Structure 1
Amino acid sequence: MHGRGGEHGESFRCVGCRLDVSVTAPGTAHRNHCPQCLASLHLDARIPGDRASRCRGRMTAIGLAVRPDGEWLVIHRCLSCEGVSANRIAGDDNPLPLIRLATRPLADPGVPVRALLAL
């Protein structure tokens, strides 16, 4: 991916499923997760694309958020430092893992489904 010095590679290997992923993605200027399994590396510090994080730990998708304009964000948690970040989905992301994340609260027996449906 983009290195600390700003150099650009054409692809990266996913830390989750080992897919070779192109760094270009429809809908985002800074691809930061695998479109197949949504795994990521903790590369950015404060600004998307800055690649200034020193952690470099593996990040796992833990949920989704939706902006007021309808744009979806994948919420990642770093398995090394436990940092949390929100990342825009890309146009070529696999919809199945996105839907699994979106419906995860419905599968949690600790969450009353009636309360969720009333929202």
Structure 2
Amino acid sequence: MAGQRRPQRRKQPRAGSFRCAGCKADVSMDAPGTAHRNHCPQCLTSLHLDRRVPGDRDAGCGGRMEAIGVTVKGAGEWMLIHECRRCGGLAVNRIAGDDNALTLMRLAMRPLSGSRLSL
């Protein structure tokens, strides 16, 4: 037995939460300002699970969605633009009231050059 390593136990997220695919934080499913939490409030990473309607879980991809920009709806509501790293799909999602403000501002200030959304 000397020299053998014990397998690490993976801590399971609490019921009503999920483990972020980006920063590995435990994220509560409750999100102020939206009915469907679909991204980590710290790093803004999501998973490609929904196809057309938030919460439909119809996408077969399951890839990691990286926040690549923000846009603003007509009433001034900020929306995250996510790009799937597996299939390249784009999605627009509502921000939540507990999203990290500094991370959002950094994303909003990032130039769009070099991304699929460049002008």
Indicate the structure with greater helix content.
1
The reply to whether residue 57 of structure 1 matches residue 68 of structure 2 is: no
The reply to whether residue 87 of structure 1 matches residue 93 of structure 2 is: yes
Tell me by how many angstroms 1:105 deviates. 2.1
- Calculate the TM-score normalised by the size of structure 1: 0.80
Tell me by how many angstroms 1:52 deviates. 1.0
Tell me by how many angstroms 1:97 deviates. 1.0
- Count of aligned positions: 99
Stretches of 4+ aligned residues off by more than 2 angstroms = none
Query: What is the rounded CA distance, in whole Å, between the counterparts of 2:59 and 2:99 in structure 1?
Result: 24
Q: What does 1:11-90 correspond to in 2, within 5 Å?
A: 11-90=17-96
Backbone CA RMSD of aligned residues: 1.2
Structure 1: unaligned runs, 5 residues or longer: 1-8, 109-119
Structure 2: unaligned runs, 5 residues or longer: 1-14, 114-119
The reply to whether residue 99 of structure 1 matches residue 105 of structure 2 is: yes
> Secondary structure in 1 aligned to 2:111?
helix
Q: Determine which structure has more spread, i.e. the larger CA radius of gyration.
A: 2
Tell me by how many angstroms 1:78 deviates. 0.1
